[in-house]
Amino acid sequence: LEAWQAGATGFPLVDAAMAQLWATGWMPNYMRHVVAGFLVEFLNLDWRHGLRWFDYTLVDADTAINAYMWQNGGHSGMDQWNFVMHPVFAAKSCDPEGDYVRRWLPQLAALPVEYIHCPWEAPFALRAAAGVVLGGNYPKRILDDLEAARRASHAAVMAVRRGPARGQVLPSGHEWLALDNGVR
């Protein structure tokens, strides 16, 4: 959690967005989705941590909207997100030249575009020439295997759905709750 809050996950788009949040009290909506997805889907942390952090740091925090969006991102809201934003693939899509990352993470600015979103893939000599030291001036990744982390998070959600929530999951996968009048 602390690495996520500090923008020290080792995933440049996540870290850049969290750096912008800390520096300005704001980040674009797309980045809010990226960092929320990373917290919930890859780190498998309770969405309420994100809710509290955004409430503490966002200058445009709206209690109702913030809570609603974090509930949705955390699979417990009325309009749950059914997408996962991969921190590298999303970065290559929304920041193809790396301008956003370079602005908020100047220690990565000299990396070529093909490595700006995945500095761990850059050859050592190239990182050295760019002045990037993983574990030094830029953190090592807190997750080495994103796919395994995602599978673990999914398994945790499915364990709840197969266990305590078994009676509240429809064949379509949607969750339901019986109202006092018996309607679901």
pLDDT tens for residues 31-73?
A: 999 999 999 989 999 999 999 999 999 999 889 988 888 888 8
Q: What average pLDDT does the segment 78-84 reach? A: 69
Closest-CA residue to 17 (of 95, 111, 104, 99): 104
Instruction: Give whole-number Cα distances, 24 to 11, 33, 58, 130, 152, in Å.
Output: 20, 18, 8, 27, 33
* Higher pLDDT among residues 94 and 173, named by residue: 94
Give CA 147 to chain center in angstroms.
14
- Using only C-alpha atoms, the chain has a radius of gyration, in whole angstroms, of 18
Quick check: helix, strand or coil at residue 147?
helix
User: Tell me: the pLDDT tens digits for 127-181?
Assistant: 999 999 999 999 999 999 888 888 888 787 778 778 877 777 777 766 677 778 8
CB 123 within 8 A of CB 116: no
Q: What average pLDDT does the segment 4-21 reach? A: 98
CB 138 within 8 A of CB 108: yes
pLDDT of 170 reads 75
DSSP tag of 140 = P
DSSP tag of 39 = I
Quick check: helix, strand or coil at residue 150?
helix
Burial category of 109 from C-beta neighbours within 10 Å (exposed 0-12, middle 13-18, buried 19 and up):
middle
**Global pTM?**
0.85
